[in-house]
Amino acid sequence: MRFRRHPRSRLLLVTTAVLLTTLAVPPVRADAPRSAAVSGPAAMSGPAGEAVAGLRPGMRLPSGARLSEVRRVGHRTIDVTLDSPALGTAGHARILLPPNFAAWRTRRWPTLYLLHGCCEPIPGWTEWTVHTDVERQTARYDALVVMPDGGTHGFYSDWWNGGRHGAPAWERFHLTELRQLVELGLRGGPQRAIAGLSMGGFGALSYAARHPGAFRAVASFSGLADSVSGAQNVLAVLEAFGADPTALWGDPVAQARIWRRHNPYDLAARLRSTPLYISAGNGTPGPLDPPGQEADPLESWIDPMNRRFVDQARAHGVRVTANLYGPGTHTWPYWERELRRSLPMLMGAVGAHRAG
């Protein structure tokens, strides 16, 4: 079944083009880590080897997922690969270990899940470490930081697939399979927070609202806070990647209930017990943009939906810290800054203390 097209302005085509081109090629940080293959715990020397001793390739999880590979990327950084029934293929994540992980062999650790956005050409689970100083920012806290792959256009959901369901089931991969690996293999505790940018901002809000109590704090940076009002852009992105645009949540009209069951705006009341940090710019060039930067139609589209979401959440009694900062584009320098600003709230909510 083809999706129903709704008459829209040319903004839909412009924002989709921006999403798939200019957003997809931001500069790579010069200090981005390089990956090194590891065949098993014994092959990993020094503090990092001590830290991941519980992650043995071949480890099977209650969900049926299997750990197939562990890679050492840096002193605190590991990449893991799971044979994932939820995805029907390999699933990946990059994990930052607490700086004092090896010294506390029985401690259970608070965990921050950090979600990436849509459409980049590099592996999604590497984006935060390639484009930001997340390693430096989180080195001060005694917490795990888990950065999972969400697919170029996975939208942090178990796909509907015309009612057949099945793969890809990103929500199940993240909240069941990967969570089990973190909690059974790395001693992650029940104190969790979640944050994300753009598509990942949608994921953070949607996951927290769909699973009340699973996360103690949420942050969304330039997030898709109202996926129903943004339905035509979501469909356009899926189609641009060659996917059946109705496979995600169905047709926005015929399957409107499925769309609403994932939409942060519609689910805002379910976040009453969860503190939120919401940020977005308005698309005009700001202080972190280079000279000559043009206005960004994508961020200008994102801004009003975040303002509506903040109003909706506050009307339902949700505790919201909103930084709708005006000038600023849909680019990594702003998301790096917003992570830094929101990190004390996120880490404080999970009881992560300054490492010393």
pLDDT for 263 equals: 98
Residue 164 belongs to domain with CATH number: 3.40.50.1820
> Cis omega before residue 41 (within 30°)?
no
pLDDT for 282 equals: 98
The dihedrals phi and psi of 259, each to the nearest 5 degrees, come to -60, -45
pLDDT for 102 equals: 84
Q: How many domains does the chain have?
A: 1
**Phi-psi category of 274—alpha, beta or left, where left has phi over 0 and alpha has psi -120 to 50?**
beta
Neighbours of 334 (CB within 10 A): 24
Residue 2 resides in a domain: no
Distance CA 206, CA 242 (A): 24
Distance CA 3, CA 236 (A): 10
Residue 22 resides in a domain: yes
Distance CA 69, CA 91 (A): 11
Residue 1 resides in a domain: no
Are the beta carbons of 95 and 182 closer than 8 angstroms?
A: yes
Q: Which positions of the chain have pLDDT values less than 50?
A: 1-15, 17-51, 53
The model's pLDDT over 62-108, given as tens digits with 9 standing for 90+, comes to 999 999 999 989 989 999 999 999 999 999 999 999 998 988 889 99
pLDDT for 300 equals: 98
pLDDT for 152 equals: 96
Residue 302 resides in a domain: yes
| Residue 89: domain span | 11-349
Residue 356 resides in a domain: no
Q: How many helices (H) and strands (E) does the chain have?
A: 11, 10
The sign of the torsion formed by the CA atoms of 327, 345, 272, 118 equals positive
Give the three-state DSSP class for 282.
Answer: coil
| Residues 6 or more apart whose Cβ sits within 8 Å of residue 9 | none
SS3 letters across 227-271: CCCCHHHHHHHHHHCCCCCCCCCCCCCCCHHHHHHHCCCCCHHHH
